[in-house]
Chain A
Amino acid sequence: MRVLTVSIFAMCATAAFGQQWEFGAVGGGSFLNSVPASGATAGFSPGFVAGAFVSQRLGSHFSGEMRYEFFQSDLRLAGGGQTATFAGNAHAVHYDVAYRFNNSESRAQFYAAVGGGIKLFRGTGTEEAFQPLSQYGYFTKTQEMKPLVSAGGGFTYRLSERLALRAEVRDFMSPFPTQVLTPAPGVKFGSFLNDIVPTVGIEYVH
C-alpha cells in the first residue's frame, strides 16, 4: 500500500504543472477474462470498479490523466462443471494520454486513451485445508503487484461550464497474478489478463 500511496502523490504533483484541470470520479463494472488452466479456467469473477482521476489539458487535443481504480472481484476457478471462488480485490494506478477528436469548444467530445501503470492483486478470502478444484490451482491470501497497460476510449458531455459527464471503456492488460492464484504442479495458466472495464463518471473542469 505504501507504493500505492506514493504513486497517488506523484500523480497529483505531475498534474499540478498543467494549465486546465479536470477532476473526476468513475464507477462501473469489471469483466476479466479467464485464462486456460490445463483443462480448466482460472481468473476472476465479474465485479465492480470505483476510481478517481485528475486530467490536465496539454493542448487542444491532448491531455494527460492520472487515475486510480479499486476493483472488487473474486478469484475464480472453473472446471469439470464445478466453480470455486475466493474473495479478492485489486488496486490500479496508471497514467494515460488521451487524444480528443473534437475541438475544445465542442459540448460532446470523443477521445481515445492509452497508458500504463501498476496493478496490485490481493487474495482476501479464508484459506482452507481443502479447496475445491485444488487440482488446478490454489487460492492464496496474499498480494502481488503486476505492470499494467491501459487502452480505451469514450466521450465527455459538458453539462455546464464546469461540469461534464464521462463514459468510457478501457482494457486493463496485466500478467496473471500467479502468487494470488497459484497453478498446481503440472498445471499451466495462461499468462495474460484482460480486464474490460466500462465506467461512467463525472468531472469537474477547473
Chain B
Amino acid sequence: MPRPSVLVLLPALALAAGTCAAATAPVFGSVVAIGGTASDIALDEKNGLLYIADFGSNTIDILSVSDNTIHSSLNVAPNPGSIALSPGSQYLLIAHYGNGTTSPQGSNIVTSIHLADNSRQIFNLTNPPLAVAFTGNGQAIVVTTTNVLTMDPASGQTTVLTSFANLANTIPVAPATFPGQILQAALSTSADGNTVWGIGSANTGTQMIYRYNARAGSIAALIYTSSPSLLARVSSSADGSTAMIGYSLLNAGGYIQGRYPNVLPSANITGAAVDSAHNTIYGQFPDTFQPTGPPGSAGGSQTPSLLIMDADNLTVRDRITMPEDMTGHALLNSAGTMLYAISESGVMILPVGSLNNYHRLLSSQEDIFVATNFCSGGVLSQSLTITDPGGGQTDFSISAGGQAGVTISPSSGTTPGKVTVRVDPTVFSAAGTTAVMLNLSSGTAVNHPAAVRLVVNKPDPSQHGTVIDQPGLLTDILPDAARNRIYILRQDKNEVLVFDATSQTLIATFRTATTPTMMSLTRDQNFLLVGHDNSQLVTVYDLNALAEVTPIVLPGGHYARSIAASNAATLVLARNEANGTGTVDTINFASGVATALPSLGVYQNKVLQTGVLTASPGGGNVLLASPDGNLMLYTAAANSFVASRADLQALSGAFAASDFNTYVVGNTAFDASLVPTGSLSPPSGPSSGFVFTGQGGYLASAVSSSSPGLLEQLSSLQNGVTSSVSMSEAPLLPTVISSSSGSTGTGGTGSGSSTTSGSVSAMSFTRTVAPFPSAGTVAVLTTSGFTMMSASYPNVPPPVVSGLVSAADGNASVAPGEWVSIYGSNLSPAVMAGGQLPLATSLGDACLMANGAPLPLLFVSPGQVNAQLPYSIQGSVTLSVHTPTGVSSNFLFTVQPAAPSVFLAGIAGSETGLATIFRADNGQLVTPTNPIHPKDWVTIYLTGMGPTSPAAIEGHAAPSSPLASAAIQPEVTLGGVPLTVSYAGLVPGEVGVYQINAYVPTGVPGGLTVPLAINQGGATTSVPLRVVTK
C-alpha cells in the first residue's frame, strides 16, 4: 500500500471508479481492465496517450496517462494483434491477424492511421502480419508468417528484407488462449531508433531471433533453442546492444548474455522492459515464487511479483507484489518512471519511478552469525536493523518460525527499527551448525523482503577452525597461493568474492554473468575463468589488475558448467541445450571464442551435462567425471581424451586430479587408467572436497550439513589418512540434483549441476577445499561460509600464560577496554588474524576469559595473543586461555581505572615503532623530520583510556554519534607546557582505539626529545618527540 502521497493517491482515487483492484494484499501499481484481451500497447508520450490493441473486441482503446483512464476507442478491422507508433506520433500502424479457418475471421491487412487527421489507409498483405514496429527514420518493419518487410506507412509500399517462416496459431483457438500465444511474434525498437529486435515462432522451443540494423538496412537472425521456450516478449536496450527476449538477455554479438534462472514453463506469463539509463530490467518470469498460470491453475496461488534486476546479469535486487501477472508487451516511458504492461485484465500501470513512496522492508544484513566457544556458552545476542529503502515508516514483523532457543525483541515495529536476536546455545545440538531463517513480513510493504539467515555454530572443544560467515549460495572455491587469495563463487548474486587468505577480509568482488557455476585459473595463473549456467559467456578476470577483461563466447546453446586448464588446451564442459547433453568445448583465447571438439579422442563428444572437469596441478591431465559413473581422461601430451571407463554406478562429491596420474572422485581413488584402486572411506560421511598436495592431499567430509566436518590429510592415496581433524562445522555436501532441463539445476551447493539418470536422482559434485601450503592453512567452504583450518594440529600441551602487557607500548599497566598482548606458550593451535566486526571471542580455536568474560580477539598464535580487555573489569583480574588441548593456569594481573598507552606502531619509510601521533598540518606522523611546531594541532592514537561515556562495548566498533568520550579526562603536556585538549575518546568505527586531539601553544620548548606526557587520573605515559620552536 502506498504511503499517503498526494501524487500517488490522486490517480489512485481517479482509478477507483473505472478500474479494478485485483488484490487486497498490499500491491504496487494498478490495473486498467479493458473488457477484452489486450494484444499490444504503444505509448504516445507526446500526447500523453497509451494505445491498447484489443484483439477480440477489434478496437484500439486510448488511455490517458494523466488519469490512467480510457477516454475513447477506435473501431478497427478484426484482430488487431500488434500496433506501433511512428516517430513523432505521426502514424499508428495496426497489424490485423487474419489467419483463420472458419468464418468470421479477419483479413491479412495493416491499417495506417494518420493521427493528425485520423485518416486511415488499409494495406493488404499476402500473408498474415504478426508484429509491427517503427525505426527512427519513420520506416515500418512488419513481420508476417513468411517474411520480414519494410513498409512505408504513407504509401503502404513494402520491401522484403528476408524470408523465413514464423509459426503462428490458426484461429479459432482454444478458450483462454492469449493473443501472444496465437501470434507468437513481437518486435521492439531501441530508443535511438537504430535497432529493431524481434522474435518469431515464440513459445515453440525453437525460436527465431531477429536484429534489424536500420542504418545499414540489414537484418541478422539466429535460431535459439531453449527449454522452457521463450514467449513473444521483446524489450530493447536504449542503444540496441542488448534486448530482453522472453526470459533471455540477448547481446548484439549474437549470444546469450544472460537468462533468468530457474524459469518454469508458462503459456502466457512473462514480461520485461529494459531501463538502460538506470541499468535496470523490470520484469516477471515464472519460477517457484511466481504464478505459472492463471489463478486456480498450478502455481496460480503465488503472488505475481515484479522483478527488479541488474540489466547486465539479471541479478534480482527486489521483488515487488503486483496486482496481476504480466501477459504481454511491457514498456517504459522515456524517463523510466512509469511501466505499462499488458496484464490479465488489460493493462497494468506500475509507477516504478515512485517506488520509494511505497512501503518496503529491507534488513541491514543477510546473515546473523553466532558462535559459541569454550569461553562463551551463555545467551548470545546480535542486533539487526530493519529499514524501508525509501526512508519511510513501515510496519514489520520478524519471526524465527517458532525455533526454540531464539528470541527476537522486539519482534515487530516500525522502520527504521533495531531488533535484537538472542540465541540460547544450550537449546541447540552440540558440535555443528544450525541455520534458522528469520522471516520478515509486513501488512503494508509491497516487496518480498529476503529472510535473514541465523547461523548458530556450536562446536565442541575437539572441533577446530575459524568460521567466516558469508551469506549466499556459494558454489566453488579456488586458492591463489601466489597472491594469497581465496576466490569464492556466490551464485545467487552473480559474484566472485575475493578474500585475503590471511585476514579473511573481502578485498574485491567481480561481477559475473548469470548463474556462475565453476571457476578455473589459466595456466599462467594470471586470469580467472568463470563459467555460467545461464550465459553463453565465460567471463575472464585479470587477477593482477583485479579487473574484468573480454569474455569468451561459447557456441550457441552452450552454457559452461565446468572449466579446466591444461598445458595444451583449456576445456569447457558445457550444457548443450540443443540436445540436452554435455559437450566439451575448447577455448581459443586469441579469438575469444570456444568451439566444440569434434570428438573426445575416439569417443563421442556427448557426455552428461552434469559432469565436471578438473586439471592436475601441473596441467598435464584433465579428468572428466560424470554423475553416472563415467570417467574420461584427457592428457595434454596427446591433446586428446585417451581413456574412458565406467566402473562405478554413480559418482558425486569430491573430484581431483594429481600430477602423479592418480585421481579422486567421491570417496574413490583411481589410477592412471581410471581403474578404481581403493576407497578413501571418510568415516564421517560423503566426501565434500579433495585437493591434491603432491601425492597426498586434503579430504573434507561430513555426515550432514549440521554436523561437524572432518578434514583429513593423506600423505599419499596408498598410505591413507595421516591426520584427521574435526572441523567447527560441516563442509558443503553433495545435493540431490533436480531433474529438469534448460535453465535449471543450479540451485544446489557446490558445483551442482542437473540431471536425472532414469529414476535415480544424481548427486552433485563439490569442490570445497583450498589449501595454502606456505601459510599452513586450508580454507574450506562450509555451512556458514568458509572455515579457515590449520594444515596440522599437532598434539601440544595445554596453554601457559607468562605475561600480559599493553599491546600499544608494552607497558605492564593496563586499563578496561585496552588492547593487550598476552605472551606464553601453546596459546593457540594456529596463527590466525581476525578482523570482522564485532570481533570474535574465539579465533584459531583459542579463547580467553578475564574474570569470566570472554575477550574479543584480533590475533592469535602459539606464543602471543592480542585481545581487548572488557570495559567492565577493574582491580584484580584472573585470566585463562582455553584451547582444544586444555585450559591454562590462572594468570593474575591488575586493571587500573586508566592506563593510557600510545601505540608505537607508526611507520615512516624504513622507520618503525613510531608513536602514532599525527600533525594536522600535513596529516603525517610526528617524526624527527616532521617535528611539532607551535600552533600545530596534533592527534594522538592510544589505548587504555578506560571507560567512556556513553559506555562502549568491547569487540564492537565505537559509535560516531554520539562520540564515546573518555570518562576520565586526560591532561596533555609537551615539555611541561599544557596543551589544549579538544577531544579525548574512542575513534568512531574502531575497537578499543582512542584519540586525543590537542593544540600546541607557542612557548613550548624545542628539542629532539621533548616529552609529550599524558596524565589520566594519575596514570601517565610519555613519548619523546622533536619540537621546533620557530
Contact = CB atoms under 8 A, between A and B. Distances in A.
A131 B933 CA distance: 17
Given A138-B929, A142-B1030, A143-B1030, A129 B924 contact: yes
A130 B930 CA distance: 8
B1026 A138 contact: yes
Contact of B922 (A126, A144, A182): A126
Contacts of B1030: 142-144, 179
Contacts of B908: 129-130
A131 B910 CA distance: 10
A141 to B, nearest CB: 8
A145 B785 CA distance: 67
B925 interface: yes
Nearest to B931: A140
B866 interface: no
Given A138-B929, A138-B1026, A143-B1030, A130 B1008 contact: no
A185 interface: yes
B919 to A, nearest CB: 8
Interface in B897-940: 906, 908-911, 914, 922, 924-931, 933
A126 B921 CA distance: 11
A172 B931 CA distance: 30
Given A142-B1028, A142-B1030, A128 B931 contact: no
Contact of B928 (A138, A141, A144): A138
A130 B928 contact: no
A184 B927 CA distance: 12
Contacts of B1028: 140-142, 179
B931 A130 contact: no
A2 to B, nearest CB: 13
A130 B1026 contact: no
Contacts, number: 53
A131 B925 CA distance: 12
A186 to B, nearest CB: 11
Interface range, B side? 20 to 34
A128 B1008 CA distance: 16
Contacts of B910: 130
Interface in A99-158: 126-132, 134, 138-144
Nearest to B925: A129
Contacts of B922: 126-128
A128 B923 CA distance: 10
Contact of A139 (B909, B929, B933, B1008): B929
A127 B929 contact: yes
Task: Kindly name the residue among A126, A127, A179 whose own CB sees the greatest number of chain B CB atoms within 10 A.
Answer: A127
Contacts of A129: 906, 908-909, 914, 924-927, 929-930
Contacts of B927: 129-130, 134
Interface string A146-188: 0000000000000000000000000000000001001011000
A89 to B, nearest CB: 15
**Most interface-central of B914, B928, B1008 (chain A CB within 10 A):** B928
Contacts of A141: 933, 1028
Contacts of B933: 141
A140 B930 CA distance: 8
Contact of B911 (A130, A139, A143, A179): A130
Contacts of B1008: 182, 185
Given A138-B1026, A140-B1028, A143-B1030, A128 B928 contact: no
A179 B1026 CA distance: 12
Contacts of A128: 922, 924, 929-930
Most buried by A among B909, B929, B933: B929
A134 B928 contact: yes
Interface of A is mostly: loop
Nearest to A185: B1008
Nearest to A183: B1008
A132 B1030 CA distance: 23
A33 B910 CA distance: 29
Contacts of B924: 127-129
B1011 to A, nearest CB: 15
A144 B925 CA distance: 25
A134 B910 CA distance: 10
A140 B1028 CA distance: 8
A34 to B, nearest CB: 19
Interface string A2-42: 00000000000000000000000000000000000000000
A140 B927 CA distance: 11
Nearest to A131: B929
A179 B922 CA distance: 21
A100 B1028 CA distance: 46
Contacts of B931: 127, 138, 140
Interface string B998-1009: 000000000010
A4 to B, nearest CB: 15
Contacts of B911: 130, 134
A138 B928 CA distance: 7
Contacts of A126: 922
A138 B931 CA distance: 10
Contacts of B926: 129
B638 to A, nearest CB: 56
Contacts of B1026: 138
A185 B928 CA distance: 10
A98 to B, nearest CB: 35
B921 to A, nearest CB: 9
Contacts of A184: 928
A185 B1007 CA distance: 11
A180 to B, nearest CB: 10
A12 B435 CA distance: 92
B620 to A, nearest CB: 48
Nearest to A143: B1030
Contact of B930 (A127, A142, A143): A127
Nearest to B909: A130
Nearest to B921: A127
A184 B929 CA distance: 10
Nearest to B1028: A142
A126 B930 CA distance: 9
Contacts of A142: 1028, 1030
A130 B924 CA distance: 9
Nearest to A139: B929
Nearest to A126: B922
A132 B911 CA distance: 11
A105 B32 CA distance: 115
Contacts of B914: 129
A199 to B, nearest CB: 30
A24 B1008 CA distance: 43
A24 to B, nearest CB: 33
A141 B909 CA distance: 20
Contacts of A179: 1028, 1030
A98 B927 CA distance: 47
B1028 to A, nearest CB: 5
A139 B756 CA distance: 77
A185 B909 CA distance: 18
Contacts of B909: 129-132, 134
A1 to B, nearest CB: 12
Nearest to B918: A129
Contacts of A127: 922, 924, 929-931
Nearest to A132: B909
Contacts of B925: 129
A144 B1029 CA distance: 11
A128 B918 CA distance: 11
15 contacts: A128-B929, A128-B930, A129-B914, A130-B908, A130-B911, A130-B929, A131-B909, A134-B929, A139-B929, A141-B933, A142-B1028, A144-B1030, A179-B1030, A182-B1008, A185-B1008
Given A143-B1030, A144-B1030, 6 more contacts: A128-B924, A129-B909, A129-B914, A129-B927, A129-B929, A130-B927
Interface of B: 906, 908-911, 914, 922, 924-931, 933, 1008, 1026, 1028, 1030
Shortest 6 CB-CB contacts between residues of A and residues of B: A130-B909, A131-B929, A130-B908, A129-B908, A129-B924, A129-B925
